[in-house]
Chains A and B, each alone.
Chain A
Amino acid sequence: MSTSSVHAWLRRAMAVVAAASLAGCDALPTLWPAKDGYPYTTTDPISDFGLLSQHIYVTITVVVCVVFVLVSILLAVTLIKFADRGTPGNPEQVHGNITMEIGWTIAPIGIVLFLIVPTIRTIFLQQDAAPIGAKDENGQVLMGEDGKPLRPAVEIKVIGRRWWWQFEYVNEGIATSNQFAIPDDRPVSLFLTSDTVIHSFWAPRIGGKRDAIPGRVNRIWFNLTKDIAQGQPDHIRGECAEYCGEAHSLMRFEILGLDGADFDKWVSEYKVAPTFADASIKQKGEEAFSAAGCTGCHAISGFAGAKGTQGPNLTFLGDRRFLAAGIKDMYPNGRADQATARAVLTQWITDPNSIKPGTTKSANASRALDGMNIPADANGDGILQPEELAPEKVDAIVSYLLSQTSSFPLQ
């Protein structure tokens, strides 16, 4: 075979691989498109971080599928062609063939080289230094007249707890739990850590996971590539991917993907305390909240007595759609159905283990968490009986928490 015909064959082969990759590119995301029914798809990312993974995901998927088909055909042909049909005598005793051995040693080395180069490139791109702000088309950070980035990166400290998430906006001074918002017009930079055991932060639609490890800080950053319309927030779900104990599978979180302007508004609302149409709700709620000992662990902005950091920050709880770290949908029938939300929150307060096992210190001491219990739970059974916390007190707390809404409740 002449050199030019080898080249021609190579070109043709490359064209086939490229076409297959492109076909794969189109086909793969549509297998499990992100929609309400498939909230966790890994094949339809909406961030540059996720798309970097996606490109190589598609390439390698195509390559391994092609290899699999070829090997399977070879195996099938062998089994059919050389099945024993009762002919006498032994087959020719072939011991091997050096050329073939060299061939099938070099072929996989070639494939590995073909895959490892883009892999390493992507590794370095994904773990590059985080940008300090939004960039223009040429990749230059947009600078304002004051010499600072026009739209600086949003930096969020993510802390894994057992079994919920704390999110702290480094520059904005906002803290929230289990649900947080990100803008679509500037980079988002996450600092992942834990003060309990190892967790792993994974929002599959945004991209790959990173572990939140006690004593260490890991970082991922990304830009949303999806253009989110004003007033139409995107709902991105995530979960803890590293086994972290009894309720590991019930440790999820919600991300509110917001248009840039909406995000600024969200920040400005979250920076100040929630307002109440009816001051008595706040007053009664704070009283009950305080009396039941909730303030020891929970913080609520605008309630001077509630500064605890052991439990989730409950400010703007009315914005959240899910309770117990993304587990229990409070509004399965939409926001209009407040009764269901009240019932769910009441159940969560009075009998949390029924929604999420292991939430409170159980009767079995060996399963106890680090000092977590309900102060008002006098008999220590993990359930707040009416005599331990009066139903009207629970009602006051429920009203108080659910009334705290901003302009961006999760639909």
Chain B
Amino acid sequence: MSTAATHVATHAHVEHEEETGLWSWITTVDHKRIGKLYLISSLLFFALGGLEALMIRMQLFRPENNFISAQFYNEMFTMHATTMVFLAIMPMSAAFFNFLIPLQIGARDVAFPRMNALSFWLFLFGGLFINASFLFHAAPDGGWFGYANLTGSKYSPGHSIDFWMLGLAILGNSSMMAGFNFITTILNLRAPGMTLFRMPIFTWMSFVVQFLVVMSFPMITVGLILLIFDRNYGTNFYFPPNGGDPLLWQHLFWLFGHPEVYILILPAMGIVSEVLPVFARKPLFGAPFVIFSGIMIGFVGFGVWSHHMFTVGLGPVADSAFSTTTMLIAVPTAVKIFNWIFTMWGGKISFKTPNLFAITFVFLFTIGGLSGVMHASPPIDLQQQDSYFIVAHFHYVLVGGALMGLFSGIYFYWPKMFGRMLNERLGQISWALFFIGINVTFFPMHFLGAMGMIRRSWQYPAGAGLDMYNQMATVGSLFIFFAVLVSFINFARGLMGHGELAGDDPWDAATLEWSIPSPPPHYNFAKLPTVHSDRPFWDEKHEGGPAVSQAKIAGPGPHHVAMPPSSYWPILVAVFQGLVFVAFMPGSGSGAFNYDAFLKQVMIQGPVALAMLFCILAWVREDDTPR
């Protein structure tokens, strides 16, 4: 690799353009490129999960329909949820963690750039591995929650659950690694003067999320390891006839699963907290309260998991305790909602596409939050649990909430990421289709639930009065399909170089990431700014504050900034680490310890693990001094 000096000498006029080509993307350790990789791959998985949702809606268009088989339907809802949670919303959030956190705190990269690349490749392989199950006619069919003992080898022989459980284990690895990386980054790499309470809200919410990730993913990892043992070696953690208890899985899963809900929503809340102030031309109302309510949600989020289990019979004391903690989540959530509304109150609101999505988030998330208060009460939950009411509730939270927040973020940060504006008209059309589609699809589901329609139902009975609302939902899902299509066309146009040049600061925003060129040079900041407030760039532009923009403090390039070199060890470690998990496949599903299968497993796993170890050693010995 050329030194920074010769690099500058030969490419002085396009100095911020790094190497191009496939190899440079495979070996990249640049957080912005990794962020883009996360964004594109999560959008592709999102499209896949959306098609699976359409299959579900097509099947439910008519009562007693036979459009797809029961088996395929079960695979569809399992893969739809697994894909949307682990392969679409989480990595879409990760795209923003990667791209934004270093820019927002005034850093040149994350703390561990190569580990960051490893996180991405593990995510991609994990996602591809789970979906590879379709090629083997063994798509997971146990639900995204994978309740034991249905996932045990007795009731799920074959490899469908193996794909799911091993894929999730790989993905958990990826998320935990990213979590530690971002915690370290935020704690250690902030620009001079960037105190914790001067950090942008998105970085704050991401900070909370990383703690949730590193504390909740170990739970599901433990659960999955026990499941691997049950399926491979004949242990009985979840198998009742031999003394196991399927509720153990439920506790482990929801101890992860409920913080996971906040892992999905908090980044979107962070994005909305960035977007609303910019388009109201005001600071975020009560920023410390928004931050503390986010922290509060994170904390309380670990004490509510059993509200997913009100029907399993934990007893009145447990039900009361978890009901109380669950309802308490409404308090920080309400604080956030009011602060967002009063951020706009007294402002000058412009309804650009990012803001439309952000306002929609506030409105739809309110609906989802309030219906959540209903089944926080166990007597009601007994009537709503596992009914379509729950489906309505969490789609308002996750589609109306998380997804709208993330789309707001895509439209808002696209100019910074790619240097060009997205088409405003297409954005507005997509937003309108989304708004209609989400409400037409998911609002009738409240009624279906109140009428007693169960979730995960391949067929519902004719003449039960369920037809009309199901048809509405299916029609609504087509609106969502076209909404996504229009946005994807918009993104594709953007990637192909359509759209006007964005300039450094297209929205007249307040934070550091807008004070550098779009797209940012690979070193982000030629000269690290000194931060004096929570809105440094706004203060420079409008309040006569000290300069933070690169144009003023660093002047025009070229700048000689040494950056970590690219490396192919992360992707190699990811490949071998993924294979270590895949090697559990041969012996799985037999339900008892099988010596031959175990031998087979070790024969594959041993060499692969050694190869991984070799790659890790090579990684350690690699010279990664910035140059």
Residues of A at the B interface (CB closer than 8 Å) are: 31-32, 36-43, 50, 52-53, 56-57, 60-61, 64, 67-68, 71-72, 74-75, 78-79, 81-85, 87, 90-97, 100-101, 104-105, 107-109, 111-112, 115-116, 119-120, 122-124, 126-127, 162, 196-198, 200, 202, 204, 207-211, 213-216, 218-219, 239-250, 252, 357-358, 365-370
Query: CA separation between A39 and B366, bound complex, in Å?
Result: 31
Checking B287, B379, B385 against A56 with a beta-carbon cut-off of 8 angstroms, the contacting residue is B379
For residue B323, CB closer than 8 A to chain A, the reply is: yes
- The distance in angstroms between the C-alpha atoms of A362 and B160, with both chains bound, is 17
In the complex, what residue of chain B is closest to A107 when comparing beta carbons? B334
Are A211 and B313 within 8 A (Cβ)?
yes
In the complex, what distance in Å separates the CA atom of A64 from the CA atom of B344?
A: 23
List chain A residues, Cβ under 8 A from B505. none
A60 and B311 contact, CB distance less than 8 A: no
14 A–B pairs (Cβ distance < 8 Å), ordered by A: A39-B452, A41-B452, A56-B379, A78-B349, A90-B348, A95-B285, A100-B286, A108-B331, A123-B379, A126-B379, A243-B455, A244-B150, A245-B74, A250-B459
Cβ–Cβ contact A109 & B380, under 8 A: no
- Across the interface, which residues of B come within 8 angstroms of A204, CB to CB? 383, 452
- Asked if residues B350 and A84 are in contact (CB atoms below 8 Å), the reply is yes
Are B349 and A82 in contact, with the CB atoms below 8 A?
yes
Asked if B281 and A91 sit within 8 Å, CB to CB, the answer is: yes
Chain A nearest CB from B387 CB (Å) reads 7
B362 adjacent to chain A (CB < 8 Å):
yes
Bound complex: CA A81 to CA B311 (Å) = 46
| Residues of A with C-beta under 8 A to B138 | 366
Most buried by A among B154, B311, B459: B311
Complex contacts, A219 vs chain B, CB 8 Å: 313
Interface stretch of the complex, out of B90-98, B194-202, B460-468? B460-468
Give the chain A neighbours of B383 by CB distance below 8 A: 42, 50, 53, 57, 204, 207-209
Stretch at the interface among B119-127, B239-247, B550-558, B604-612: B239-247
Measured CB to CB, the closest approach of chain B to A118, in angstroms, equals: 8
**B280 contacts A91, CB within 8 Å?**
yes
Q: State the interface size on chain B (CB cutoff 8 A).
A: 97
Q: CB-defined interface of B360-393 with A at 8 Å, one 1/0 digit per residue?
A: 0011001100110110011111111111000000
- If A42-B451, A109-B331 touch, whether A96 touches B286 (CB-CB below 8 Å) is yes
Q: Which of B420-466 contact A (CB under 8 A)?
A: 447, 449-461, 463-465
Tell me which residues across on chain B come within 8 A of A244, comparing CB atoms.
150
Bound-state Cα–Cα, A95 to B141, Å: 50
Q: Mark B314-346, 1 if CB is under 8 A from A, else 0.
A: 011001100110011011001101110110111
B374 and A60 contact, CB distance less than 8 A: yes
B289 at the A interface (CB under 8 A): yes
Cβ contact within 8 Å between B456 and A248: yes
| A112 x B289 contact (CB < 8 A) | no
Q: A116-B324, A122-B379 are in contact. Are A42 and B387 (CB under 8 A)?
A: yes
Please, how many angstroms separate the alpha-carbon atoms of A79 and B328 in the complex? 29
A118–B382 CA distance with the chains assembled, in angstroms: 15
Q: Which residue of B lies closest to A52 (CB)?
A: B379
Q: B178 at the A/B interface (Cβ < 8 Å)? A: no
Residue of A nearest to B543 (CB): A93
B143 lies within 8 A of chain A by Cβ:
yes
Query: CB < 8 Å: which of A94, A101, A250, A368 contacts B282?
Result: A94
- Chain B residues, Cβ within 8 Å of A112: 324, 327-328, 330-331
A198 touches B246 (CB 8 A): yes
- Chain A residue contacts of B339, Cβ below 8 A: 96, 101
Q: Decide: A75 near B363, CB < 8 A? Known: A40-B453, A357-B71.
A: yes
| Minimum CB distance partner of A204 in chain B | B452
Give me 14 other A-B pairs in contact (C-beta within 8 A), A75-B366, A83-B351 excluded. Answer: A41-B452, A82-B280, A90-B281, A94-B282, A96-B288, A109-B331, A112-B330, A119-B327, A120-B323, A204-B383, A219-B313, A241-B387, A243-B386, A245-B150
Q: Is B501 part of the contact surface with A, judged by Cβ < 8 Å?
A: no
Contact A82 B346 (CB under 8 A): yes
Q: How far is the CB of B459 from chain A (nearest CB, A)?
A: 5
Compute how far the CA of A38 lies from the CA of B456 in the bound complex, rounded to whole angstroms.
19
Question: B14 contacts the other chain (Cβ, under 8 Å)?
Answer: no
Q: Are B363 and A72 in contact (CB under 8 A)?
A: yes
Contact (Cβ within 8 A) A94 B283: yes
Chain B residues near A60: list those with CB within 8 A: 373-374, 377, 380
Asked whether A53 and B313 contact (CB < 8 A) given A215-B245, A245-B150, the answer is no
Which residues does chain B contribute within 8 Å of A104, judged by CB atoms? 334-335, 338
Residue of A nearest to B378 (CB): A123
Taken together as a complex, chains A and B put the C-alpha atoms of A68 and B327 apart, in Å, by 16
- Tell me which residues across on chain A come within 8 A of B345, comparing CB atoms: 78, 81-82
Q: If A37-B464, A213-B247 touch, does A97 touch B312 (CB 8 Å cutoff)?
A: no
Cα–Cα distance between A243 and B367 once the two chains are bound (Å)? 26
With contacts A37-B464, A91-B280 taken as known, whether A124 is within 8 angstroms of B456 at the C-beta atoms is: no
| B464:A39 contact, CB within 8 angstroms | yes
Name the one of B157, B386, B450 contacting A41, with C-beta atoms under 8 angstroms: B450
Q: Closest CB-CB distance, B184 to chain A, in whole Å? A: 30
Question: For B453, what are the chain A residues with a Cβ–Cβ distance below 8 Å?
Answer: 40
On chain B, the residues within 8 Å of A96 by CB distance are: 285-289, 339
For B285, what are the chain A residues with a Cβ–Cβ distance below 8 Å? 94-97
Q: Give Cα A124–Cα B317 distance, bound, in whole angstroms.
A: 8
Provide the B249-284 mask, 1 if CB < 8 A to any CB of A, else 0.
000000000000000000000000000000011110
A124 contacts across to B, CB distance below 8 A: 316, 320
B497 interfacial by beta-carbon distance below 8 Å: no
In chain B, what residue has the closest Cβ to A74? B341
Instruction: Kindly list chain B residues whose C-beta atoms are within 8 Å of the C-beta of A197.
Output: 147, 149-150, 155, 246
Nearest-neighbour CB distance to chain A for B149, whole angstroms, equals 6
Contact of B463 among A37, A115, A127, A245 (CB under 8 A): A37
Question: Does B304 count as interface, using CB distance less than 8 angstroms?
Answer: no
Chain A residues within 8 Å of B288, by CB: 96
Q: Given A39-B464, A366-B158, A116 and B323 touching (CB < 8 A)?
A: yes
The residues of B that contact A247 with a CB separation of less than 8 Å are 70
Residues on the A chain within 8 Å of B320, using CB: 119-120, 123-124
- A366 engages B160 (CB within 8 Å): yes
Q: Does B188 contact A (CB under 8 A)?
A: no
Residue of B nearest to A28 (CB): B450
Most buried by A among B288, B380, B447: B380
Q: How far is the CB of B363 from chain A (nearest CB, A)?
A: 6
Structural contact, A246 and B366, CB atoms closer than 8 A:
no
Report the bound CA distance from A83 to B279 in whole Å: 10
Please state if A358 and B71 are interface contacts (CB–CB under 8 Å): yes
Please tell me if the beta carbons of A211 and B311 are within 8 angstroms of each other in the complex.
yes
Contact of B349 among A79, A162, A211 (CB under 8 A): A79
CB-CB nearest 6 A-B residue pairs: A208-B382, A40-B452, A366-B158, A215-B240, A249-B457, A96-B286
Q: Is the CB of B385 within 8 A of A127?
A: no
By the criterion CB–CB under 8 Å, are A57 and B380 in contact?
Answer: yes
* Chain B residue nearest to A243 in the complex (CB): B456
Q: Are B74 and A246 in touch, CB under 8 angstroms?
A: yes
Q: In the complex, are the beta carbons of A209 and B385 less than 8 A apart?
A: yes
Chain A residue numbers with a CB within 8 Å of B337 are 71
B346: which of A43, A79, A91, A198 is its contact (CB, 8 Å)? A91
Q: B residues within 8 A CB of A78?
A: 341-342, 344-345, 349
Chain B contacts for A87, CB-based, 8 A: 348
Within the complex, what minimum Cβ distance (angstroms) separates B367 from chain A? 7
Question: Shortest CB–CB separation between residue A125 and chain B, in angstroms?
Answer: 9
Distance, CA A93 to CA B346, complexed state (A): 9
Establish whether residues B370 and A67, one from each chain, have CB atoms under 8 Å apart when the complex forms: yes
Q: CB of B359 within 8 A of chain A?
A: yes
B370 close to A97 (CB less than 8 A): no
* Contact A214:B150 (CB < 8 A) given known A39-B464, A94-B285, A200-B386: no
Neighbouring A residues of B147 by C-beta, 8 Å: 197-198, 242-243
The complex places the Cα of A207 from the Cα of B383 at a distance, in Å, of 7
Interface status of B347 (Cβ within 8 A of chain A):
yes
Contact B457 A95 (CB under 8 A): no
Q: Are the CB atoms of A214 and B154 closer together than 8 Å?
A: no
